[in-house]
Structure 1
Amino acid sequence: MKSSSRVAAGVAGAVAGYVAIFVLFSLLDFGDRADPITSGLLALFVYSPMGAIGGAVLASRLVSRPGTAPGNGSVASNSLKSLGVAALLCVAGIGIYIAYAYATATPWLNRNGGNPLLVFEVRFPAGATVPTSAQGITIELQTDLNTMPGEVTPAAFYRDGDQRVIAGEVELAFRTSHRQLAVNIQGQPSRIYPIDLTARAPHTPEFGTWRRLDDGSEIRYRAKWPGKT
């Protein structure tokens, strides 16, 4: 068998030995029950590595050429190479995990600058009472991570035939797909509009289609990122 194949077999043996000792340690409930954290650390960093060493040596012996007595040097060399490869794989895996954990440790949408905006328009049924200014209108973006107050833009209010349309914007601070916009007009029931954007809310230059609530009001929206129109 080629040396690379022996090393690969040794790596598999090391992994199997590590996992086997850790599982055995857990099933047989070794360690101090009064201090499970220390027991777990011992299993991870002391006993299981010993199992990895044993697994690598055993696998190296098993894959040696049949009918010949393997030399101690070749078995030891293959075992060391296997353990080295396994250690490098562990380090690479830990590095990838740390990089991923760092990138997703905080769910900010844009950590390097200003947050993107949810720009929206709400169109009310004909005959609905709608203020012509910001007074009496409150906007709140609600997510599973936070709530964020929004603002209306009276200068962007307009009529669409016999229907009144209000416009505004609110920051999208967090990376989550669970969003809804609460539009409250004084003296009227709160209107809650689901916001169907992906967690990263990519920039879109144009509004989406109108989405209707049961009361006949409609909303359309888009995500606007800093530096884009």
Structure 2
Amino acid sequence: MKSSSRVAIGVVAAMAGYVATFVLLSLVDFGNRADPITSGLLGLLVYSPMGAIAGAVLANWLMGSAGKQTSSGSIASNSLKSLGVLALLCIAGIGIYIAYAYATATPWLNRNGANPLLVFEVRFPAGVRVPTSEQGIAIELQTDLNTMPGKVNQAASYRDGDQAVIAGEVELAFRTSHRQLAVDIQGQPSRIYPIDLSARAPHTPEFGTWRRLADGSEIRYRAKWPGKT
């Protein structure tokens, strides 16, 4: 039998030895019942690896006996190769799991730099008094994952006839389609505007259409990604 085949069978045997040892320890209720966590770690990290070593050595010894190649050096070499391959597979599996967990556990919109922005304009009904400075206006993006304070851009704010329009922006940190923008003006009821963007909020160069609330105020917005206008 070729050496590569022996190594592959040794890997399978090592895996079987690991699992069999752990299952056996569980069946015989091995360890300290008062400290099951330590007992479990001993089983996973000490005794089960010993079972993997025994499985690899036994498989290579049986294959060596069947092929009339029973030198201890050959058996030890193939066993070490089998255990090395198994260790590499375990490391690769752990690495893949960590990468997957990192990518999915925290759904950042942009992990590599600055976050994209929600750029918005809010147009108020005629007669509504709007402060001419940032004082007295509070902006907050609310999602199912976080809240983020926004800011008013006074330089971009303007009047549309007899209606005041405030402009502003707020960071979009997470992938979620559950977003709303709270605009609070001192002395007035809070206004909550639904933000209808997809979870990934792709960049759009222009504002969408105006969307009206029941009180007559309106909002339009777009997502702006770093490096784009």
TM-score by length of 1: 0.72
Give the equivalent residue in structure 1 for 2:6. Answer: 6
Aligned-partner residue type, residue 38 of structure 1: T
C-alpha distance in 1, partners of 2:215/2:29? 61
Matched, 1:19 2:9: no
Query: How far apart are 1:184 and its partner, in Å?
Result: 2.0
Backbone CA RMSD of aligned residues: 3.9
Give the equivalent residue in structure 1 for 2:48. Answer: 48
2:206 aligns to what SS in structure 1?
coil
Give the equivalent residue in structure 2 for 1:142. Answer: 142
Aligned-partner residue type, residue 15 of structure 1: M
Structure 1 pair 68–4 and aligned structure 2 pair: CA distance change class (3 A)? closer
1:201–1:223 Cα contact (<8 Å) kept: yes
1:205 aligns to what SS in structure 2?
coil
Aligned-partner residue type, residue 34 of structure 1: A
Aligned-partner residue type, residue 86 of structure 2: A
Structure 1 pair 4–214 and aligned structure 2 pair: CA distance change class (3 A)? farther
Q: Deviations over 1:7-53 (max 9, x none)?
A: 22221222232233234434543211222332122112111101211
- The total of aligned residue pairs comes to 226
Give the equivalent residue in structure 2 for 1:129. Answer: 128
Task: Structure 2: give runs of 5+ residues left out of the alignment.
Answer: none
Aligned-partner residue type, residue 5 of structure 1: S
Give the equivalent residue in structure 1 for 2:174. Answer: 175
Query: How far apart are 1:139 and its partner, in Å?
Result: 0.7
1:93-132 equivalences in 2 (<5 Å): 93-96=93-96, 114-124=114-124, 127=126, 129=128, 131=130
Task: Structure 1: give runs of 5+ residues left out of the alignment.
Answer: none
1:143–1:176 Cα contact (<8 Å) kept: no
C-alpha distance in 2, partners of 1:160/1:5? 78
Query: How far apart are 1:129 and its partner, in Å?
Result: 2.8
1:121–1:168 Cα contact (<8 Å) kept: yes
Q: How much identity, in percent, do the aligned residues show?
A: 78
Aligned-partner residue type, residue 166 of structure 2: I
Aligned-partner residue type, residue 12 of structure 1: V
Aligned-partner residue type, residue 143 of structure 1: T
TM-score by length of 2: 0.72
